[in-house]
């Protein structure tokens, strides 16, 4: 990891220090995804089978997971793992129900009632990656809020293995959360299938979930097409920023940095501290712990584009963090809540030395599908609200129109919208 001192850098150097790994939408990637989407739209299920053979190296007879596969998956799973999945699902459900939007009804004037009602997005598509490792936790993070929101049709796609089956833990989590249909599809072709529909895969209104560069590009392309589907948020590689004081445990800090670095070679981790000694101890500890990791080679590639940054104070660390807007922000300081009010932009925040980012990934109850690549400045993580539409309703009585009609007419006239004005004044004249 590169060591830097924030106050010794000019503005250009600071921008470079906080730059994410390049995620250029290269012409080759963009064009490749466009071709896959076109092939799926033209060829439907036949194209999906051909693409699965090409990219996932599996021959699919049935695209959809059937009941026997769900039963076999449940029977094959270790009971301890099944219990952990159920335990995590219960906590995710508990938090997401408590945080879900609620209907609102307010009388804004006598005889004027304004409401907000909630309706589920009818059909949603969930994508659960299974590239370097399957992610049953993502099935929980997407399936639970979709169930709470009341979505009528919940479709899930996850890549099949070479034997033509999906990961058993992903299937168990999907069934546990009430997903209605699961398809053995991955990559851009899965996104295309859910966005446009095929004979087997129903067309979805909104797509959710992380994925590799091909999946991300496919989501961006279908979301910009009026015939495609909305998406949860723009996404990039996983990232974490840690703010640590001089008394932070370097073993814990290093473990948190490595827990994100092992996600992929394009992940990024950043440590900010006012203590040069702490930075040095963490650097040594990262090397020691990394050597023992099964995914050490992946982690080292991520660490090569990561940073250890010396700051003047914890206050300055917060300023730098807000500028970076991390997906995950860990506050390994003596009084983390003292910094909380100053934090403006982060996907999810972890307070204190006993709160590793890993608990948020799996079972604290919060959601791990979060905005990355600086999108935390304007996007939030997935929640029940992500699966709902908020619709406003208003009801005005005759007395209510007498109350607010003149205001409406005045503003409509100021905007030179005469029909708007008359829609009010004609009624007021009828009430006179």
Catalytic residues: 327-328
> Where do the H-state alpha helices sit in 291-356?
296-303, 314-324, 337-340
DSSP single-letter state for residue 356: -
User: From the annotation, which residues make up the binding site for NAD(+)?
Assistant: 127, 189, 212
Answer whether 197's CB lies under 8 Å from 230's CB.
Answer: no
Give DSSP secondary structure letters for 241-283: EEEE-TTS-HHHHHHHHHHHHTT-TT-EEEEEES-HHHHHHHH
d(CA 319, CA 33): 38
**Residue 153: which H helix or E strand, with range?**
strand 153-157
Q: Give the bridge partners for 104, in sequence order.
A: 116
- What is the dihedral angle through the alpha carbons of 62, 160, 206, 231, rounded to the nearest 10 degrees? -150
Sequence-separated (6 or more) residues with CB below 8 Å from residue 291: none
Q: How far is CA 410 from CA 113, 402, 415, 423, in A?
A: 21, 13, 9, 12
Sequence-separated (6 or more) residues with CB below 8 Å from residue 289: 251, 254, 255, 258
Answer whether 215's CB lies under 8 Å from 129's CB.
Answer: yes
| Number of neighbouring beta carbons within 10 Å of residue 61 | 7
Please enumerate, as own/partner, the contacts of 411-415 that have beta carbons within 8 Å and a separation of 24 or more. none
Nearest CA to 274 out of 306, 309, 250 is that of 309
């Amino acid at each position: 990891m590169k060591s830097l001192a924030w106050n010794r850098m000019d503005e250009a150097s600071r921008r470079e220090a906080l730059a994410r790994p390049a995620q250029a939408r290269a012409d080759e990637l963009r064009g490749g995804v466009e071709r896959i989407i076109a092939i799926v739209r033209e060829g439907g299920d036949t194209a999906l089978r051909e693409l699965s053979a090409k990219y996932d190296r599996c021959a699919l007879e049935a695209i959809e997971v059937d009941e026997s596969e769900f039963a076999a998956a449940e029977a094959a799973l270790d009971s301890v793992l099944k219990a952990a999945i159920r335990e995590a699902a219960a906590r995710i459900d508990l938090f997401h129900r408590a945080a879900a939007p609620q209907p609102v009804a307010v009388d804004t004037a006598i005889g004027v009632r304004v409401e907000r009602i909630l309706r589920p997005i009818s059909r949603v598509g969930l994508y659960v990656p299974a590239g370097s490792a399957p992610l049953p936790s993502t099935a929980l993070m997407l399936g639970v809020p979709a169930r709470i929101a009341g979505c009528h049709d919940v479709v899930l796609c996850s890549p099949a293995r070479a034997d033509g089956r999906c990961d058993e833990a992903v299937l168990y989590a999907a069934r546990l959360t009430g997903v209605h249909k699961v398809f053995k599809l991955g990559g851009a072709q899965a996104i295309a299938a859910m966005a446009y529909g095929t004979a087997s895969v129903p067309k979805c209104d909104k797509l959710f979930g992380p994925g590799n560069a091909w999946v991300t590009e496919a989501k961006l392309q279908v979301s910009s097409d009026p015939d495609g589907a909305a998406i949860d948020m723009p996404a990039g590689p996983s990232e974490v920023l840690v703010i640590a004081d001089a008394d932070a445990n370097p073993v814990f800090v290093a473990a948190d940095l490595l827990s994100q670095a092992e996600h992929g070679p394009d992940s990024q981790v950043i440590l900010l501290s006012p203590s040069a000694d702490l930075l040095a101890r963490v650097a040594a500890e990262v090397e020691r712990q990394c050597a023992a990791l099964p995914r050490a080679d992946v982690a080292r590639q991520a660490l090569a584009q990561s940073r250890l940054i010396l700051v003047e104070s914890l206050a300055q660390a917060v300023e730098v963090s807000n500028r970076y807007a991390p997906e995950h922000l860990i506050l390994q300081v003596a009084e983390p809540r003292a910094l909380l009010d100053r934090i403006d932009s982060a996907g999810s925040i972890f307070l204190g030395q006993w709160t590793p980012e890993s608990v948020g990934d799996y079972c604290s109850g919060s959601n791990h599908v979060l905005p990355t690549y600086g999108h935390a400045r304007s996007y939030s993580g997935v929640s029940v609200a992500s699966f709902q539409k908020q619709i406003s309703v208003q009801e005005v009585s005759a007395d209510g129109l007498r109350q607010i009609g003149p205001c409406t007419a005045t503003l409509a006239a100021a905007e030179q919208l005469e029909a708007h004005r008359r829609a009010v004044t004609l009624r007021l004249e009828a009430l006179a």
